[in-house]
Chain A
Amino acid sequence: MLGIPLKYNVRNLFVRKVTTTLTVLGIALVVAVFLCVMALGEGLTNVFAASGSEKNVLVLRQNSQSELQSGLGRDQIPLIRALPGIEKDSDGKPLVSAELVVVLNLDKRDGGSSNVTIRGVEEKGMALRPQMKLTEGRTFVPGTSEVIVAEGVAKRFKGAELGQEIRFGAYRWKVVGHFDAGGTAPDSEIWTDSEGMLNTFQRGGFSSVLARTTDRAARDLFVAGVAGDARLALEGKSERAYYDAQTSTAAPIKFLGFFVGIVMAIGACFGAMNTMYAAVSSRTREIATLRALGFSRLSILVSFVLESIALAFLGGVVGCALAFLLVKVALSGVTGTTNFATFAEVVFAFRLTPQLLLTGILFSLVMGFFGGLFPAARAAFTKITAALRQVG
Chain B
Amino acid sequence: MTCDPGRMTEFEVAPARLLQTALGRIRRQTQYRRPLERGGRAAAGIEALLAQAADCVAALARPRAVFVPVRADWTTAGDLRLSDLFTLTAGDIGLPPARGGSVTAYLLTLGFSQADAFARLNGDYAAQHVQTDLSSEVLFALGREAFGVQQAQARGRLRRVSIRTSDICGASRLWDAGRVQALIGQFGAANPGVSVTSAGCFQPLHSLIGLTIEAPPEG
Partners in one complex: no
List residues of chain B with CB under 8 Å of any chain A CB.
Answer: none
List residues of chain A with CB under 8 Å of any chain B CB.
Answer: none
